[in-house]
Amino acid sequence: MGKILERALFAIAFAPIVFAIPAWSQDEGPQKPAGEKGRAQRLDFDIFKSSIQPIFLKKRLGHARCYGCHTGANRAFHLETLAPGSTDWTEEQSRKNFQSVSQLVVPGHPELSLFLHHPLAAEAGGDAFHSGGRQFASYDDADFVTLVDWVRGGAPHSNSPSATPSALVYVTNSAGNTVDAIDPSTNQVVQIIHDVELPHGVGFSADGARVYISSEADDVLDVVDRESTKIVKKIKLSGRPNNLAVTNDGSRVLVGIRSGDGAVDIIDAASLSITKTLPVHGSVHNVFVTPDDRYAVTGSIEAQMATVIDLRGEQVAWEIKFDHGVRPMTFETNPDGSTKRMFVQLSDVNGFAVVDFAKHAEVARILFPTDQARFGKAEQRERTPSHGIRVSPDGRALWVNSTLSNATYKYSLPELKLVGVCELLLVHPSNGPATGAVPDWIAITPDSSRVYVSNSGARSVTVIDAATMKPIVNIPVGEVPKRLNTLDLSKIK
Ligand code: HEC
């Protein structure tokens, strides 16, 4: 079999598996992306010339240039030889290069394009071996992003999704400087927000026009124009932020301040300025708003305490002390919309606490099955056994991550009965046994049908079918993905 044909078949046979489909087996084939109509299906030659070709010639630290190896006639990815003394290809040569690369690309589908997953590091979801090495260590590499954008059919760095999705799931790449937006109808990253170093929390304005991101590196709240992904304002905070919450009416953004004794910066969304810095006991890790917009609740790891803030007077209403540091929380509502119970994850607890909101007291503690707790030691996450919890929008299920089980559990509401479990992917380090994905957060689509789990140790987001509790796909994202939040665009317009 000819080398090129062999490789093409290889691409067809394996591309979807190595790039987009998780290591665990699955019954369904790769998801057929929906919403094709709005997508550009042609590769842009001008962008190829101006942005893609320069990457082939670029000296990138620690890597030989693509050009150094890919001028041979026996390469499917074949580059023309530059004329002596010239530093760029002629128009005619560029056309030939374009022709060669085009054959390794499925326009609109980065996950199916050999051109992308062959030079991408295996650890980041790329092919197992490339003689040219791991040219791109992660999905976040700036040059790789340029290639992906081109394949996706958009102009590099224009970053605006061409179709109009009904929701977007945002994930902050907490050890990177990007935030990815996933379209749940195709389960692809359709937009990347750049230049937010150490992004922590993410939220949205009521009209969906702005994305708020707290940046731990700069002590700011970045206000991003959603369509263009440009940062339009940096609001200086009173200290190093952690997570944030936006009131459901969109009027206020609350940012938890981790440095110092503990505070919440309250930002008026109209003027985009801080109106109050409310002190609370203990530095704040996460902050949430109850579904009825009456209260905000902050959690402190250090003070082992949750503080409930009355949002009308912006005053502390009550506090509740725990025996461990307070981690993520989520709320169950009464029929009238008021808050019934609060589910609270705690340091060192492989489960969660149940708080009666009216009684201001913990009424139960639910622990995960101990026989499933096989992970967390190699990852050194034993002190954070359970991180990520969310009541589904329809109020009928509670989804909770367990790092020790490397899984996401589903409980029925209001019974709090364990319904089932979805095992997450394994990570295969080159030098040791498989470890867990270290799940960090949960977001759910507005129709409650899909659950998104960020795998902080696996540079991916797992999509779970809420009904079958089976994983659908692992989406490669940036470095140490953590907080997830869903923007419901169907309500806006
Ligand atoms: C050290 C030499 C070397 C460098 C540098 C190199 N490659 Fe390769 N590449 C190869 C070889 C050899 C193959 C074929 C065998 C294999 O797959 O390992 C290959 C295969 C590929 C393929 C699969 C199609 C084909 O031609 O077989 C793609 C796509 C690819 N490389 C992309 C890149 C990109 C993009 C860069 C630069 C960012 C790059 N390579 C840099 C040596 C290299």
Q: How many CB atoms lie within 10 A of CB 17?
A: 13
Q: Using one digit for the tens of pLDDT, what is the confidence trace for 254-312?
A: 999 999 999 999 999 999 999 999 999 999 999 999 999 999 999 999 999 999 999 99
Tell me the C-alpha distance between 115 and 13, whole Å: 15
Residue 174 Cα, ligand 1 centroid: separation in angstroms? 31
Residue nearest to atom 25 of ligand 1 (CA): 76
Residue nearest to atom 3 of ligand 1 (CA): 132
Question: What average pLDDT score do residues 2-12 get?
Answer: 38
Residue 131 Cα, ligand 1 centroid: separation in angstroms? 6
Give the chain's end-to-end CA distance (angstroms, integer): 55
Given this model, what pLDDT does residue 430 score? 66
Is the shortest distance between the CB of 115 and ligand 1 below 6 Å?
yes
Question: What average pLDDT score do residues 108-122 get?
Answer: 89
Residue 107 Cα, ligand 1 centroid: separation in angstroms? 20
Residue 142 Cα, ligand 1 centroid: separation in angstroms? 19
Q: Using one digit for the tens of pLDDT, what is the confidence trace for 385-401?
A: 999 999 999 999 999 99
Residue 63 Cα, ligand 1 centroid: separation in angstroms? 12
**Atom in ligand 1 nearest the alpha carbon of residue 143:** 38
Residue nearest to atom 29 of ligand 1 (CA): 115
The torsion defined by the Cα of 418, 420, 425 and 429, in degrees rounded to 10, comes to 50
> Probe ligand 1: pick from 9, 53, 60, 77, max atoms within 8 Å of CB?
77
Question: In terms of C-beta density within 10 A (0-12 exposed, 13-18 middle, 19 or more buried), how is residue 376 classed?
Answer: buried
Q: To the nearest whole percent, how much of the chain has pLDDT over 90?
A: 72
Q: Residue 389's Cα: distance from chain center in Å?
A: 15
**Atom in ligand 1 nearest the alpha carbon of residue 131:** 18
**Atom in ligand 1 nearest the alpha carbon of residue 64:** 5
Query: Per this entry, what is the length of the chain?
Result: 493
Tell me the C-alpha distance between 110 and 150, whole Å: 9
* Residue 139 and residue 120 in contact, taking contact as beta carbons nearer than 8 Å: yes
Tell me the C-alpha distance between 262 and 420, whole Å: 37
Tell me the C-alpha distance between 41 and 153, whole Å: 6
Residue 126 Cα, ligand 1 centroid: separation in angstroms? 13
Residue with tokens 């040791």, as numbered in its chain: 432
Residue 67 Cα, ligand 1 centroid: separation in angstroms? 9
Residue 75 Cα, ligand 1 centroid: separation in angstroms? 8
Tell me the C-alpha distance between 69 and 79, whole Å: 9
**Atom in ligand 1 nearest the alpha carbon of residue 55:** 38
Residue nearest to atom 41 of ligand 1 (CA): 66
Residue 163 pLDDT grade (very low, low, confident, very high; cuts 50, 70, 90)? low
Tell me the C-alpha distance between 328 and 347, whole Å: 10
Is the shortest distance between the CB of 68 and ligand 1 below 6 Å?
yes
Closest by CA position to 257, among listed 273, 234, 276: 276
445 vs 187: which has the higher pLDDT: 445
Q: Is the pLDDT of residue 14 over 70?
A: no
Is the shortest distance between the CB of 484 and ligand 1 below 6 Å?
no
Is the shortest distance between the CB of 75 and ligand 1 below 6 Å?
yes
Mean pLDDT of the chain: 88
Residue 41 Cα, ligand 1 centroid: separation in angstroms? 25
Q: What Cα–Cα distance (Å) separates residue 145 from each residue in 41, 82, 128, 154, 188?
A: 18, 26, 20, 11, 14
Tell me the C-alpha distance between 488 and 165, whole Å: 9
Residue 493 pLDDT grade (very low, low, confident, very high; cuts 50, 70, 90)? low
Tell me the C-alpha distance between 469 and 450, whole Å: 9
Please tell me the least confidently modeled range out of 12-16, 120-124, 328-332, 456-460.
Answer: 12-16
Q: How many CB atoms lie within 10 A of CB 311?
A: 21
Residue with tokens 């051109």, as numbered in its chain: 115
Is the shortest distance between the CB of 131 and ligand 1 below 6 Å?
yes
**Atom in ligand 1 nearest the alpha carbon of residue 130:** 18
Residue 144 Cα, ligand 1 centroid: separation in angstroms? 14
Q: Using one digit for the tens of pLDDT, what is the confidence trace for 180-225?
A: 999 999 888 889 999 999 999 999 999 999 999 999 999 999 999 9
Is the shortest distance between the CB of 135 and ligand 1 below 6 Å?
yes
**Atom in ligand 1 nearest the alpha carbon of residue 68:** 5
Is the shortest distance between the CB of 118 and ligand 1 below 6 Å?
yes
**Atom in ligand 1 nearest the alpha carbon of residue 7:** 27
